[in-house]
Amino acid sequence: MKKFSTKTIVTLGVLVALHIVLSRFLSINTPYLKIGFAFVPVFIAAYLYGPVAAGAASGVADVLGATLFPSGPFFPGFTLTSVLIGVSYGLMIHKKQSPLRIIMMVVFNQLVFGLLLNSYWISLLYGSSYVALLGTRVFQCLLLIPVEIVVMIAITKPVSHLARVGRDRNGVSA
């Protein structure tokens, strides 16, 4: 298994903190819907460091955010979803970015993890009807898919530049 440098761990720590702020304070949160930009730090971690780092950062951010700033009961299913999203991002875009890959990744994650899996967790947690939740949460998916695609494509070039600068200073990958 690849060891992470101190610089990588510090960068991931900053991305975890950014994820917590975006998720807990700068997003719309209800028991059934969550709309925000917490996907950005996970995307950056996946882009720069790959699936293991992105999954770990996303999972740590979920646990720390739920512990420090709870917005409901802690449920490990949501942490699993966070980890899976980070891993999925890393598998799709680490070292092989393209607009088509980003579009496929966002649609897959929103439909499978955001709509189906998280709706299932919510139905277990709150005793709600899974089918009724799907109807409500389709709105969230339809709203977030184009937003995530546009944001991710827009930040790909600046993040790519940061990755090159990190490699150029040390002669090795960040």
- Supply the pLDDT for residue 33: 77
pLDDT of 160 reads 85
pLDDT digits 0-9 by tens, 153-164: 999 989 888 777
How far apart, in whole angstroms, are the C-alpha atoms of residue 49 and residue 157?
A: 16
Q: What is the pLDDT of residues 100-152, one digit of tens each?
A: 999 999 999 999 999 999 999 999 998 889 998 898 889 889 999 999 999 99
At 1-51, the pLDDT tens digits run 567 889 999 999 999 999 999 999 998 887 777 889 999 999 999 999 999
Mean pLDDT, to the nearest integer, of 66-86?
93
**Please, which residues bridge with residue 29 across strands?**
34
**pLDDT at residue 1, as a whole number:** 54
Question: In whole angstroms, how far apart are CA 162 and each of 20, 44, 47, 95?
Answer: 22, 10, 11, 14
Q: Which residue has the higher pLDDT, 167 or 55?
A: 55
| Residue-range domain boundaries for the chain | 6-160
Q: How much is the pLDDT for 37?
A: 95
CA–CA gap between residue 169 and residue 12 (Å, rounded): 19
What kind of fold does domain 6-160 have according to CATH?
Answer: Arp2/3 complex 21 kDa subunit ARPC3 (1.10.1760)
